[in-house]
Amino acid sequence: MSRTFLFILAVVFLLAGCSSSNRIATCFYSTAIERTTLPLISFDPVNFVADGKPRLDVLFQIPFKNLKFQKAGNAFVATYSVTVRVLTSDEKQIAIQEWSKTVSVKDYERTVSNESEATLRVFVLPPEKYTLAVTILDEHSQQQQEERKEVNVHPAVGQFEASDIVLLQKITEDQGIKTITPMFPSDIGKFRSFSTFMEVYDSLGIDTLYVSTRIVPFHIDYDRRHQSSPYSYKSFFNPKYLFTPRYDQGFVRPDTIAALGGPNIPLQDLFLPKLDNEFARSDTIVITVGSPTQLFNSFIVPPPGRYQLLTEVVKKKEGKTDTLHIGRVLTVHSEYFPDVVDSDDLIGPLQYITERDEYDSLRAPANKEERARRLEQFWNTKLDPARRQEFYGRVRQANEYFTGIVDGWRTPMGMTYIVAGPPAELECQPGISETWYYGYQQSYVVFIFQTGPGAQNDGHPFYMLTGYPAENVWSNFVDKWRR
């Protein structure tokens, strides 16, 4: 990357019990709960080329709320250490970096917030597929956690290459020197706009580049309930409530999801971007001067959802054309994620415990204040107002435990957790299936989740709800939330 650019790791702000006796302690549910009690660290690796060699830039981030602060004089202090190991496919370590940091803040509110510490580390590695094993240790609590992520270091060969795309919070310029502030991907929802940065390399020199960048949504449409989706549960029995897990001999085919009155659509097709449905597009022509050529772009942040950022770079020279395609996935959460405080976010999870006309009435007003008024009235007249805090507490926990390709409350496990609560017992085959047991009329009912065949693309396992209890059992869970 050019020396004229300076990375500033800006402090990032995000607005933002359960227990069970496990039959097998390696269930995804148990692991998800355990992870939320540890000093979780996130990291975003990006490929570049420097001096003709591949370079991996890794941005690390840890929210203050995941650290244990102690009072020290007039401040609150937390200390943590990080170890990053680069492992080959046979677990051989070829690189390691270690560092420690001490965070000092004056206000207690900051210690429990999503304000974050960010660190950038650089690795020069031969082209290959690696595993980044990142271990973080909280010095005060002595809690330790390891996160792993597979990364591909791209070869710096060929006459026409490009880096990965970096998300930027802002770009400033002073006396001809640009300063770029990286944005962590999970933070994109708290901003109104964002920028992108990438480099294009060409050993023979380029005269002109034609650059086209698009933001396209995936096939998940939360507001169209009749679309085939593993997150739209409909009963063949015309249920009283809007969303009811369908009862079909206890199981459905794991390779398809049937929508009421609609065709069967292969699950993997649900997670492909809709290339003909663009949220935003930018087309530019760049006259290059030397290599690398640095490309910037700016966009409005799309509404909450899952998108793909696609960039096509075309080089035309002496009658020949070369084309590069670079992309990355964007998951945009609401500004307050994982909290649920906005009136629209408060209404969404109610689809699991409302009748169709009730839910449509809550969403119908164009005025946000009127939607909030109807929501308040609905809780006081139709639902159990004494359990309102418990309901939205479960929504928040579902977001923390089960978020992956979509927000946690929209997933099969999230829906079950919100309506039925934490399971009494668990049984699972890690990475294959998981069964949740609930007490019911002096016996058990079960919900069975199986890993889906669709591509997940973000390292999280994807579980479909494939074993349903009888419809009257589900209605019993829902009725407990009603007056």
348-393 tens-digit pLDDT: 899 889 988 898 899 899 898 999 999 999 999 999 999 999 999 9
For the segment 72-89, the average pLDDT, to the nearest whole number, is 95
Q: Is the pLDDT of residue 75 over 90?
A: yes
pLDDT digits (tens, 9 = 90+) for 159-212: 788 999 999 988 888 877 778 788 888 889 889 999 999 999 887 666 789 999
Which pLDDT value is given to residue 154?
Answer: 86
Which pLDDT value is given to residue 133?
Answer: 95
Radius of gyration over alpha carbons of the chain, in Å?
24
pLDDT digits (tens, 9 = 90+) for 82-104: 999 999 999 999 999 999 999 99
Enter the pTM of the model: 0.74
Mean pLDDT is lowest, of 64-73, 222-231, 335-344, 426-435, for 222-231
What's the pLDDT band for 56 if we cut at 50, 70, 90? very high
> In the chain, pLDDT over 90 holds for what percent of residues?
39
Q: Is the pLDDT of residue 482 over 50?
A: yes
Helix (H) or strand (E) holding 135: strand 128-138
- The torsion defined by the Cα of 119, 122, 123 and 129, in degrees rounded to 10, comes to 70
Q: Is the pLDDT of residue 57 over 60?
A: yes
3-class secondary-structure state, position 468: coil
Catalogue all structural domains in the chain, each as residue range(s) with its CATH number.
Answer: 39-217+274-332 (2.60.40.10), 256-272+339-479 (no CATH)
Q: Return the axis-axis angle of helices 28-36 and 388-402, rounded to nearest 10°.
A: 100
> In the chain, pLDDT over 70 holds for what percent of residues?
78
Q: Is the pLDDT of residue 438 over 80?
A: yes
Q: Is the pLDDT of residue 331 over 90?
A: no
Which pLDDT value is given to residue 276?
Answer: 67
Most confident of 28-32, 59-63, 132-136, 325-329: 132-136
pLDDT digits (tens, 9 = 90+) for 262-319: 334 444 444 556 666 889 999 999 887 777 888 999 999 998 878 889 999 998 877 7
Whole-number average pLDDT of the chain: 79
Q: Whole-angstrom Cα distance, residue 1 to residue 290? A: 13
Angle at 214 between CA 226 and CA 275, to 5 degrees: 40
3-class secondary-structure state, position 392: helix
Contact (Cβ atoms closer than 8 angstroms) between residue 142 and residue 161: no
